[in-house]
Structure 1
Amino acid sequence: MTQYLKKTAVILGLLGCGPALAQEDTKAIPLGEVVITENRMQLPFDKQNRNIQVIDRQQIDAMPAQSINELLSHVGGVDLRQRGPFGTQADVSIDGGSFEQTLILVNGVKVLDAQTAHNSLNLPIPTDAIERIEIIRGPAARIYGINSLTGAINIVTRKPAESGISGNIYVGSGFKRDTANNNALFNGRGVQLGATLASKAGRHSIYGSHESGNGYRYNTPFRNNKVFYQGEVPTGGKDVLSIMGGYVSNGFGANGFYAAPGDKESREIVQNILAAIGYRSQLADRLSLSPQVSYRYGYDDYRYFRHDLSRARSQHHSHAINTEVNATLQTGAGDIGIGLEMRNEIIRSSNIGNHDRSNFGLYAEFKTEEIKRVLLNAGAYINYNSDYGWQLFPGIDLGYQLSEHWKLVAHTGMGQRIPSFTDLYLDQRPGNIGNPVLQSENSWHAEGGVKYADNRTIAHLSYFYRNMNDFIDWVRLSEDDPWQPHNFQQNRTHGLSFSANYRMSAPQSGVKWLAGLAYTWLSPTFDDSNNAGFLSKYVIESLRHQIVANLQLSAGSLSATAAARFNERISYKSYFVGDARISYRFHAASLYLDVKNIFDVTYIEAAAVPMPGRWFGLGIKYGIAD
């Protein structure tokens, strides 16, 4: 148990994000043994040299959050900019990058939206289906390929160890009324259901959810339906066939989301289908092969006038097919990983047009622990795009174990972001127009830091520098002109991140206290849309200071979590938001109370959308297993 607590404490110290464990789970796998989902090289979390954070299942249960968007808002270094709560629509970026520069994956499968990254977090995954969320800070082209320019977020779903059923029902309100619609009380509600089957013949899970409500201000009602399936079937020896599929339909009032104040009556419907099939084969004791095929369909229907569909309506249909083959060979000098990827993207759109493009990538990596106290992982990704030609993106991670508790880490690498179809071809005059001569964005990133871990205290301090060329910014010369993207020469960012966690009580104590703190400082400079006389749409909105803090109490069946975050942007007013959850477990059920935005702060995360004031939520979870 002591070793388990030590490993868990080490991992929590590297997170720099939300609350720590709610209570001991004797069935849990120690996080130090969890393998980060890279498609070739397999490396446990506690050996990673990259700046990687993990939100695990126990943290998800403890957080005052009901959506992936809300979970990510409690992670240090992650800028989660919601245009509405309840998981309706949000942009996510890492360490000062744009929302287009962060790659989203599900179980290592890219869910890249070639139309626009505004839809990247519209995923068919209820929070109860998530095992953990992995956040990789810094360019990850060597691991995942294109569009992981400033980082990647991988959502790993649960693989059941036993058969069972579960349910989660919740309601919420800010106890304010919609004076424009019969004085109705603003509210929201949701239900999540899950079923798992685990046997020698395979492991299967299916989850579904429904969320709806009339929102929190005029024209913000929402309706969200999700279904997700995952299965694994052994085919002999260590070989496994895996299948994944999901569907989400998300409709919401989009008052102020994109074109305030004229879009007061707008509405948007976003639907996605995600499917993948893969096979892991152990060809020999030291050689494994993993082919995989995935498909993503996206439908986006934006209605500027929700009561008049004959004008100002945008409809987009996008398709992406991704095929990859990865192999790993273990040798006496270290492990070698290679992979080949082929991707085709298609869009059929009313105001983007009909376009398609292809992408081919080749990966190669080498990892060794043969050098005393050193862990080295180096590789490169060679990419060919039908629109942008050949490019090479190398990277290297290095760790040196100074002592039992201290470790030096360093990383350097390159990344790329290919413009979206919206960037290139959008024709939404007079508001926005694309630019078909855009070049891809490229960056070089270097980072170094130190990590400390013991039984009670852990800390992580790192500094990075990122030099981005051909940065894409949406700009205009005056308020009468449409927004249009252009390449500007450089975006240089200096950043500092610190995280620390402290176990305030002894491991054997019946009452457990845990505290965490994370701070991120960013200093970006631009050669620059402003210097050229342009007004910028996204550059001036990045973070400068961010503080994320949490405190958790666990005593028997009772647990309480307080989480707070402070954000200061370059252009927006700073704001401080506090959230809390109190839960009590009895038998197979647990009852929980959430209070979000405890201090009723008025703040904006994106566009002209004020976020909700104080909001109360009440829920009950129930689960039984064989």
Structure 2
Amino acid sequence: MRSFAVKPAINFMYKPQFNTCSVLKFKHFANKPYALFSVIGKVVIIGVLNVATLQTATAADPMTTNREPADTTDTKMVSLQGVNVVGTRAPLTQSQQARMVTVLSREEIQAAPVQSVNDLLKYVAGIDVRQKGPLGALTDVSIRGGNSEQITVLLNGINICDPQTGHNTFDIPVDMNDIERVEVIEGPAARVYGTSSLLGAINIVTKAPKQTSLTAHAEGGSYGYLSAGIRGNIASGRWNNQLSATTTRSDGYLRNSKGGLNADYNTVKSFYQGSYSDPTVDVRWHAGLSAKNFGSNTFYSAKYDNQFEHTFKSYTAIQAESKQGAFHLKPAIYWNHIYDRFELFRGEPGKYPFNYHRTDVWGLNLNAYFDWTLGRTAFGAEVRNEDLVSGNLGEPLDNPKHIHGTGRMYNHGLNRTNIQLFLEHNIILKRLTVSPGITAVKNTQANMNMEVYPSIDASYRIGDNWKIFASYNTSLRMPSFTELYYSVGGHKADSHLLPEKLYAVEGGVHYLSNGVKAKASVFYNHHKNLIDWINDGTLDDNGAALWKSVNFGEINAVGADAQVEFDFRSLLPAQRFLKSLSLSYSYLNQDEKEHEGIISQYSLEYLKNKFVAKTQFNVFRNLNLGINFRMQHRMGSYLDTANNRHTYGTYCLVDSRLSWDETRWNAFVEANNLLSRQYVDYGNVRQPGFWLIAGVAINIR
């Protein structure tokens, strides 16, 4: 078995400087067959482990990646809870967090029958993934009954949300093989990620192997799906540089009224990241691009079935953190460049002019935290400028700009700056963690005064296994550019929309022991000025349903989440066949009586019930099998092309992944929608039936 390094504890949270934090000792593993340290006959005190969640103390090769080869040495699952996850403004370990953060680890990503982050999030009960095509061609992701505009998506802690529209937010530049873990906060997270995280946040954390490595993978399957990628990493002393590239294409599965395929797509992704680390400072930087072309069929309007869209996005950021002394400074600067071309009639600009949009987002974060007698205090500020030029979104420009490659001009646009200030204090006692804070925000587009949004999270640890937690959080969200100005193709926007506001209360319990992990929570959300696209029976000039962006007023939502995970390698060490089982359920109910007769595109079409079951088996030697089950029941209804109303139903799906995993290579076969169920996530966009994907990955070096 290969060894893994134990790094001395250097972060304040592991020093008994205030309130006498406990030291974690592995004395529970003495005289057990899986005791990693019993061979030395000593008690080992662990400090910081630089992994997301060490769920298996395997003899994995340091270069093992998500879809790449993994060592299959059969050892026991040990949850250390010692990783820093971002549930607070100041860094705290997962066990110290007062806020519950769901972490999808590298092992879970590797075992899931998915090819994109969008698909991975389907297996989180509290997340609604509404697809308009498989493999992430176009997907809306929301949390706890919201819509895709109401969450913040981050790449290594950097906000990569698209202010033009939430539909394209998940055009991320990283392949699944680049990802170390995915962190999910359900509920308002303004104090941590800014006010755009109205109902939650998703942070995608990329990995940087500590050793020089080279890996490659190739996949193919149904609907003409092909994908190939390569990733190389060079590690030298304090420096680490990594570059990856992936290309993916598919013929799609939907045809337009003329019989042509029009859910096809092709994407190219490239991602570079580097880092430098010494005893005084950590510096990280990344640059990535994503280019995607996809036939969008009836994705945006049921009346037009030959739509098409092209997006190009680039992401650049640099981050740093000082490491010595009681005062820690964490600055970051980033630039997101976004280009979008939408074709209502594919390849026919003479029939209807193409819509062109270009967005540049500049951001500067300055965060700091320090330790003192009464705890850990964090404060910070963010300035984020969003600049859009467009052919049809925004206010008329005094100086129109040329659209590259065309004879047209960007003659509309909007520029707004969002300023946010943060203050948080963390009190960490032996069993109690309390994290109160405030967020102050001002946005130039709304001509609003500085507004303050308070929040507080608290948790209490009962014994070694139980924790109870509660929180109160508030936040707001500015309308997207599309919500403010998109008034074409059967849509009528309102440029005077008010910012959304949310007040949320949550409480629950968490249990953790060797082999069992469980949590349950209940929450209440009070929405004010909720923004959505609705139809109240009004038709446009062509007789089609007219969708209008409006502020709803007030909506109340009550919900509950529950999850339990069993690691049978720890519970039943004598057997090898059954590895793990996870069960999760989410319930939501909205007070919507005042909206009877209204058809909503998003907010009133929420998931009332969602149940997810995942199980992993070791079939034979290195042959592993995963089976995932989902049941979803959606509220709301939609209109077809003849303006007939249909209600959403309940559907159940089964997905599976069979893989042979060696140290230097693996091969897999994935089957999605095994029972070939017919269903829709979004009205008038039928989802594919059974589809199959097979692939291979090798660790070249």
Does 2:605 align with 1:565? Answer: no
Does 2:518 align with 1:459? Answer: yes
Q: Which residue of 2 aligns with 1:447?
A: 506
Q: Which residue of 2 aligns with 1:15?
A: none
Q: Which moved more, 1:41-50 or 1:66-75?
A: 41-50
Contact between 2:87 and 2:100, CA under 8 Å: does it hold in 1?
Answer: no
Contact between 1:77 and 1:95, CA under 8 Å: does it hold in 2?
Answer: yes
Structure-2 change in CA distance of 1:586 and 1:407 (3 Å):
closer
* Deviation per residue, 1:235-269 (Å, 9 max, x gap): x5331221111000011111110111x32111111
Q: For residue 607 of structure 1, report the CA deviation from its aligned partner.
A: 3.3
Q: For residue 43 of structure 1, report the CA deviation from its aligned partner.
A: 1.0
Separation (CA, whole Å) in 1 of partners of 2:436 and 2:700: 45
Query: Aligned runs of 1:535-546 on 2, under 5 Å?
Result: 535-546=599-610
Does 2:185 align with 1:136? Answer: yes
Q: Residue 149 of structure 1 is aligned with which of 167, 174, 198?
A: 198
Q: Which residue of 1 aligns with 2:279?
A: 237
Q: Residue 380 of structure 1 is aligned with which of 418, 438, 444?
A: 438
Percent of paired sites with the same residue: 30
Partner secondary structure for residue 605 of structure 1: strand
Separation (CA, whole Å) in 1 of partners of 2:565 and 2:53: 9
Separation (CA, whole Å) in 1 of partners of 2:75 and 2:241: 22
Partner secondary structure for residue 120 of structure 2: helix
Q: Which residue of 2 aligns with 1:196?
A: 233
* Deviation per residue, 1:467-516 (Å, 9 max, x gap): 01111121233251431111122111100111011223424644442111
Contact between 1:38 and 1:108, CA under 8 Å: does it hold in 2?
Answer: no
Q: Which residue of 2 aligns with 1:246?
A: 288
Separation (CA, whole Å) in 1 of partners of 2:677 and 2:581: 24
Separation (CA, whole Å) in 2 of partners of 1:314 and 1:170: 34
Q: For residue 379 of structure 1, report the CA deviation from its aligned partner.
A: 0.9
Q: Which residue of 1 aligns with 2:15?
A: none
Q: Which residue of 1 aligns with 2:252?
A: 215
Separation (CA, whole Å) in 1 of partners of 2:603 and 2:127: 16
Q: Residue 399 of structure 1 is aligned with which of 452, 459, 464?
A: 459
Q: For residue 38 of structure 1, report the CA deviation from its aligned partner.
A: 5.9
Q: Which residue of 1 aligns with 2:405?
A: none
Separation (CA, whole Å) in 2 of partners of 1:199 and 1:507: 40
Q: Which residue of 1 aligns with 2:44?
A: none
Does 2:305 align with 1:264? Answer: yes
Structure-2 change in CA distance of 1:138 and 1:557 (3 Å):
same
Q: Which residue of 2 aligns with 1:309?
A: 349
Structure-2 change in CA distance of 1:47 and 1:38 (3 Å):
closer
Q: Residue 473 of structure 2 is aligned with which of 391, 395, 413?
A: 413
What letter corresponds to residue 513 of structure 1 in structure 2? Answer: K
* Deviation per residue, 1:493-543 (Å, 9 max, x gap): 100111011223424644442111000000111364x24x54322233110
What letter corresponds to residue 374 of structure 2 in structure 1? Answer: A
Separation (CA, whole Å) in 2 of partners of 1:47 and 1:65: 31
TM-score (norm 2): 0.82
Q: For residue 37 of structure 1, report the CA deviation from its aligned partner.
A: 3.5
Gaps of 5+ in 1: 13-20, 174-185
What letter corresponds to residue 216 of structure 1 in structure 2? Answer: Y
Q: Which residue of 2 aligns with 1:513?
A: 579
Structure-2 change in CA distance of 1:241 and 1:508 (3 Å):
farther
Q: Which residue of 1 aligns with 2:557?
A: 493
Q: Residue 225 of structure 1 is aligned with which of 260, 268, 286?
A: 268
Q: Which residue of 1 aligns with 2:406?
A: none
Q: For residue 307 of structure 1, report the CA deviation from its aligned partner.
A: 2.8
Structure-2 change in CA distance of 1:384 and 1:25 (3 Å):
farther
Separation (CA, whole Å) in 1 of partners of 2:427 and 2:656: 44
Q: Residue 79 of structure 1 is aligned with which of 78, 103, 128?
A: 128
Q: Which residue of 2 aligns with 1:187?
A: 224
Partner secondary structure for residue 47 of structure 1: coil
Q: Alignment RMSD, CA only?
A: 2.4
Partner secondary structure for residue 452 of structure 1: strand
* Deviation per residue, 1:64-110 (Å, 9 max, x gap): 00111111111110101110012211000011112111110000000
Partner secondary structure for residue 86 of structure 1: helix
Separation (CA, whole Å) in 2 of partners of 1:11 and 1:490: 43
Q: Which residue of 1 aligns with 2:397?
A: none
Separation (CA, whole Å) in 2 of partners of 1:23 and 1:494: 43
Partner secondary structure for residue 348 of structure 2: coil
Separation (CA, whole Å) in 2 of partners of 1:499 and 1:64: 20
Q: For residue 568 of structure 1, report the CA deviation from its aligned partner.
A: 0.3
Contact between 2:53 and 2:83, CA under 8 Å: does it hold in 1?
Answer: no
Separation (CA, whole Å) in 2 of partners of 1:44 and 1:587: 30
Separation (CA, whole Å) in 2 of partners of 1:359 and 1:258: 29
Contact between 1:165 and 1:195, CA under 8 Å: does it hold in 2?
Answer: yes
Q: Which residue of 1 aligns with 2:487?
A: 427
Separation (CA, whole Å) in 1 of partners of 2:52 and 2:181: 17
Separation (CA, whole Å) in 1 of partners of 2:443 and 2:593: 27
* Deviation per residue, 1:194-251 (Å, 9 max, x gap): 11111213111111100012112221111000001111023x5331221111000011
Q: Which residue of 1 aligns with 2:398?
A: none
Q: Which residue of 2 aligns with 1:102?
A: 151
Contact between 2:145 and 2:603, CA under 8 Å: does it hold in 1?
Answer: no
Q: Which residue of 1 aligns with 2:332?
A: 292
Structure-2 change in CA distance of 1:527 and 1:5 (3 Å):
farther
Gaps of 5+ in 2: 1-25, 37-48, 56-69, 256-261, 394-411, 541-545, 637-647
Structure-2 change in CA distance of 1:279 and 1:38 (3 Å):
farther
TM-score (norm 1): 0.91
Q: Which residue of 2 aligns with 1:275?
A: 316
Separation (CA, whole Å) in 2 of partners of 1:303 and 1:610: 21
Query: Aligned runs of 1:6-17 on 2, under 5 Å?
Result: none
Separation (CA, whole Å) in 2 of partners of 1:248 and 1:31: 35
Q: Which residue of 1 aligns with 2:417?
A: 358
Partner secondary structure for residue 109 of structure 2: helix
Structure-2 change in CA distance of 1:60 and 1:209 (3 Å):
same
Structure-2 change in CA distance of 1:340 and 1:304 (3 Å):
same
Contact between 1:104 and 1:154, CA under 8 Å: does it hold in 2?
Answer: yes
* Deviation per residue, 1:305-350 (Å, 9 max, x gap): 1131232421111111000100110112211101011011011111
Q: Which residue of 1 aligns with 2:693?
A: 617
Contact between 1:511 and 1:556, CA under 8 Å: does it hold in 2?
Answer: no
Separation (CA, whole Å) in 1 of partners of 2:560 and 2:71: 29
Structure-2 change in CA distance of 1:462 and 1:587 (3 Å):
closer
Partner secondary structure for residue 530 of structure 2: strand
Q: For residue 160 of structure 1, report the CA deviation from its aligned partner.
A: 1.4
Structure-2 change in CA distance of 1:26 and 1:356 (3 Å):
farther
Q: Which residue of 2 aligns with 1:318?
A: 359
Query: Aligned runs of 1:527-542 on 2, under 5 Å?
Result: 528=594, 530-531=595-596, 534-542=598-606
More strand by share: 1
What letter corresponds to residue 435 of structure 1 in structure 2? Answer: D
Q: Residue 37 of structure 1 is aligned with which of 66, 81, 86?
A: 86
Separation (CA, whole Å) in 1 of partners of 2:496 and 2:457: 35
Q: For residue 30 of structure 1, report the CA deviation from its aligned partner.
A: 5.8
Q: For residue 575 of structure 1, report the CA deviation from its aligned partner.
A: 0.6
Structure-2 change in CA distance of 1:339 and 1:29 (3 Å):
farther
Q: With a CA cutoff of 8 Å and minimum separation of 6, indicate the structure with the bigger relative contact order.
A: 1
Structure-2 change in CA distance of 1:457 and 1:534 (3 Å):
closer
Separation (CA, whole Å) in 2 of partners of 1:503 and 1:534: 46
Partner secondary structure for residue 354 of structure 1: strand
What letter corresponds to residue 245 of structure 1 in structure 2? Answer: A
What letter corresponds to residue 477 of structure 1 in structure 2? Answer: D
The alignment of Structure 1 onto Structure 2 pairs a total of residues equal to 598
Larger Rg: 2
Contact between 2:524 and 2:559, CA under 8 Å: does it hold in 1?
Answer: yes
